Each structure stands twice: as C-alpha cells, then as structure tokens.
Chain A
Amino acid sequence: MAKIIETQDLAVAFGESDEHNIIFRHLNVTVEKGEFVTLVGVSGAGKSTLLRVIADLIPPYEGSVKLDAAHDPSRRPIAMVFQAALLMPWRKVGDNVALGLEGIDVSEAVKKERVEWTLELVGLAGYQDRWPYQLSGGQRQRIGIARALAVDPAILLMDEPFGALDAITRTGLQDELLRIWQETHKSVLFVTHDIEEAVYLGDRVLLLGDKPAHIVNEYHITVDREQRRESEEFLHMVDEVKDGLMGAMALSNGSG
C-alpha cells in the first residue's frame, strides 16, 4: 500500500522556535492510503501539535511532512475536525459546512450539492438554515465532520473530536464515523486519549510517549470491526494498549 502521510524525522518547537522549546524530534509517522490510524499518548506529548504540523498550521522545526495527495483544484488535500466543533456562530449550518469550499475551484451548484451530500452523510440533512446555537453538542460535532468532508479531502485529521461528548453520543458518532470512512475511503489520522476508542476505530494504534515524544509502540488491530466492543479479543487488545501507555507514563515520570 502507498503511504499518504509520511513524516520524516519531524521536530516541532513551540513559540520562539529554538532548542529549548522542542516538543518532539525524530518523529516518524506514516499513514497508508485508506487506513484509519489512531494516535493515543500521554497528555502533553504533542498529539494535537503533530496534527497541526501535518495540516501545515505550524511549521516544522526540523524534518518534513510528505503528503501523497493528488493535486485537484476542486478539493483540498487535508481537512481537520477539531476537539470543540468550533463552528462559526455567525454562519448558518450550511455556510459553516461550505467554509472550505470558499476559494476552491467548484461552481456554486456543486458547492450546494456537496453541502447537501455531507449533511446527509452525517445524518443532518435539511439543517442548512439553522444557527449553530440551535444545535446540541453532538450535532455540532457532526457539522464539524461535515465541514471537513465537504472539501472531499484525501486525508482527514481528527483531534479528539468526541472528547467533549457524553458517552452515548460518543458511541453513536464513532459508529457513524466508521460508516462514513467505509463509504468515502478517506485516510484518517485520529487523535484521542481514550484507548477503547482508539482500538475500536483504528486499523492501527500508535502509542506516543513523551520526553521527547516518540512512537513507543504500534498495534495492528486485527479484530473484525463487527466483533469489536464486546469480543474477548477486543478487550484484550485494549488492555495491551493500556499497559503500553502505563509503561510510557512510568518512563516519562521516571525521567522527568
């Protein structure tokens, strides 16, 4: 399979880019085309920062990010879903979804179609004319996902998108995300601190440790997706990743 994201010896520094502010270095993360990769790690390890570097919102200090997304002026190669839905309150739902379509090469008719299609995909067909304040937290996050899907990205970056939701809403959205992923064949890099979520969603789970941040381990999740949530094998996998994370935390506390 072809790599769609490949970071090469990536280092990132905060604020004034210098040696003292380095969050991680020599970070090599890859995502294959069509793969669903989840990233868990000790908090403060720089998971969100990694997404922001891949999305070109923060420049790397060292190293590079290679993306293999064909150039297509009617799409954007990457789209991001944020932890808080972060909708623009002054835009109606439809205009929020269309945010990324503004400034790319698609006709008004196609824009309208894409908005309708993505809203349908996230189960909120016909919500175009509502204001964000009229939505529940779960609905808002669905709109955040629709906004990302509307630009038809090859790569979907998700930064703890369900972290702020209640358990029932979260479970529902996880299943919906898997369905959307299977329908749209996006490559997904999904950051979470919820190990169960990581194992449930991912083809592969990356475990990020800190000081300095590095990939401690990776787990290929081979449990059939239909069987996840309840099978012994799934629970065993969750425990394994949990142990890995505990180990990484002990290590980071020991050295810090």
Chain B
Amino acid sequence: MKATSRYLLSAAGLIGFLLIWEAIARSGLLATHLLPPPSTIPAALTSEIREGFWQVMVLSSLRHYSIGFVLGSVLGVGLGVMVALFPRIEASQAWLARVLRPIPPLAWIPFAIIWFGITETAAAFIISIGIFWINYFTAMGAVQAVDKDLIEVARAFGHRSFPALLRKVILPGAAPGILSGLRAGLGQGWMTVVAAELFGIQGIGQRMIEASGLLATDVVILYMFSIALLYGISDYIFVLIQKRILEWQR
C-alpha cells in the first residue's frame, strides 16, 4: 500500500467514526446528555478555554504525566538493565517482581495519598508505576537478547572492561527494545493520568469528574479528545526521535 493511500484510509476511518456517532446522537434515539454529538465539542472547547480551565487542566496533567513518565522510565530502564546484567540480582528479584507486578497502579492510590497527601507528587507516583513495569520488563528482555557473539567481537578487539562492553555493545544492542518499551510507557502513562487525578488533584481527570457530576458530557468528551491529542503528539514526536536513533535499522 502506498503511503498516501494509507493516510487517506486512516483519515476516512476516523471521519467515518465521527459521522456515524454524529448521526446516532442527532437521531433522537438517545438523550443528548447520554451521548453528545461530536459537533458540540468545539463549542465546549472555546468555553473551557475562555473560562481558563482547559489550559490550566492540560498543563497540570502534562506536569504529572511528564514527571511520572521520566521517573517510571528512568527507574524501569535502569533497574531492568541492571537485573539483566547480574544473575544474582536477577534471581533475587524473580519472585518479588511476580508479587508486585500484577498490582494495578490504581491500587496504590491509598498509599499514594498516605505517603504524599493530595499532591501532584501522589499523581506522578501513580502514573509512574505502570510505566515502570513496562520498562522494567522490556529493558530486561532487551539486554538479555543482545547478541553474545557481538560481545565476543568487542572483547576480541580489546574492549574487555564492563563499562566498555556496556557502552559499545549492550546498550546499543538493547536500544530497539528499550525504545519500544519507552513508547509503550508513553501510552500507558496517559491511561493512568485521569485515574491518578480522580481524588482531587488538579488536572484533566478532576475536571472530567466535575463535569460528569453536572451531566456536562460534552465537556467530558472534550477532555477525552484532549488526552487523545496529547498522546498523539507525544507519540508522534517520540517516533521521530526513535527513527533518528535507530537509523541503522532497515
């Protein structure tokens, strides 16, 4: 398939979805507050911006998200790489990771509140948990999958110290895996943003709860779209960077 026809089809899919939705919402089968038509969203957006909510909410959510993303990614990749490199650490974490891994980020909310209070730190902490696990396991797998023969090549050409092997073979070899983990975390982070703000921390999630309490479902949908937009932009930028770094892949 050519790139242009691919773009056209993707756009057609999205537009078709919006049109069907608009038609159902306008048919009168459902009350407007149950399913507001997408055509009401621009008006909701202008009103939210005029009243100064949209900018503030988006900015604070972005802040929680960014802190959570950096924290979860750095710790996840760092520990994942370490665990893969040292069999003793690998063995000591095996059961521990199995115990902690299945706990959903939202289950940590009570502790986040007890430890950090109703603060932005608490929201960032919750966001970072899901991101951490994704990166932890993908980084571990990526390092374990590095071609052992290439490590031997580096050693044969005089790079025998651990830091040299890490820099010249292990990290570049694991880079594709680590980057795809980071990208998955990028999406996972947005999925927890709303929930992390439900308990009263200023942000998109909080505003959505307020709006749904007033049955202002158009505002709820506006923020749903806002999240989609933010994710779309961050993923797009990430893929550009990723392509740049992985230029060596065909």
Is A88 an interface position by the 8 A CB rule?
A: yes
**Residues of chain B with a CB closer than 8 A to A92's CB:** 248
Contact of B149 among A82, A91, A100, A131 (CB under 8 A): A82
Contact with B along A238-251 (1 / 0, CB 8 A): 00000000000000
Pick from B23-31, B65-73, B169-177 the stretch touching chain A: B169-177
| Contact A89:B164 (CB < 8 A) given known A103-B158, A103-B159 | no
Min Cβ gap A73→B in Å is 11
Pick from B152, B157, B249: contact of A89, CB under 8 Å: B249
Residues of B within 8 A of A235 (CB): none
Given the known inter-chain contacts A82-B149, A90-B172, A103-B164, please indicate yes or no for A57 contacting B155, CB distance below 8 A: yes
A99-B149 in contact given A89-B248, A90-B172, A131-B248 (Cβ < 8 Å) = no
* Cβ distance A6 to chain B, nearest Cβ, rounded Å: 20
Total contacts A-B at CB 8 Å: 55
Task: Indicate whether A84 reaches chain B with its CB closer than 8 angstroms.
Answer: yes
B152 and A90 contacting across the interface, CB-CB below 8 Å: no
Contact pattern, A 144-184, Cβ under 8 Å of B = 1, otherwise 0? 00010001000000000000000000000000000000000
**A88 close to B249 (CB less than 8 A):** no
> A76 at interface (Cβ–Cβ under 8 A)?
yes
Q: Cβ of A104 and Cβ of B249 under 8 Å apart?
A: no
- Per-position contact with A for B153-165: 1 when CB-CB < 8 Å, else 0? 1111111000010
The answer to whether B248 and A133 have CB atoms under 8 Å apart is yes
**Most chain B C-beta atoms within 10 Å of own C-beta, residue among A55, A90, A99, A100:** A90
Q: Is B250 an interface residue (CB 8 A)?
A: yes
Distance, CA A122 to CA B36, complexed state (A): 70
Residues of B within 8 A of A104 (CB): 158
Are A133 and B250 CB-contacts (below 8 A) given A57-B152, A88-B169, A90-B172?
A: yes
B248 touches A147 (CB 8 A): no
Secondary structure of the A contact surface, majority rule: loop
Q: Which of chain A's residues has its CB closest to B157's CB? A: A100
Contact bitstring A68-104, B, C-beta under 8 A = 1, else 0: 0000000010011010101011111000000110111
Question: How far apart are the CA atoms of A57 and B159 in the complex, in Å?
Answer: 11
- Kindly identify which residue among B147, B154, B248, B249 contacts A99, using a CB–CB cutoff of 8 Å: B154
Bound-state CA distance A82–B156 (Å) is: 10
How many angstroms between the C-alpha atoms of A84 and B147 in the bound complex?
A: 12
Give B209 Cβ to nearest chain A Cβ, in Å.
Answer: 46
Residues of B within 8 A of A100 (CB): 157-158
Taking the complex as formed, is B150 at the interface, i.e. its CB lies under 8 A from any CB of chain A?
A: yes
Whole-angstrom CA separation of A44 from B147 in the bound complex: 22
Contact A90 B248 (CB under 8 A): yes
A-B contacts, 11 listed (Cβ < 8 Å): A57-B156, A79-B156, A82-B149, A86-B150, A88-B150, A99-B153, A99-B157, A103-B164, A133-B248, A133-B249, A133-B250
10 residue pairs, one from A and one from B, having the closest CB atoms: A100-B157, A90-B172, A133-B250, A90-B248, A80-B156, A99-B157, A86-B153, A131-B248, A86-B149, A89-B248
A86-B150, A131-B250 given. 11 additional CB < 8 A pairs? A76-B157, A82-B153, A88-B153, A88-B169, A90-B173, A99-B154, A99-B157, A99-B159, A102-B159, A133-B248, A133-B249
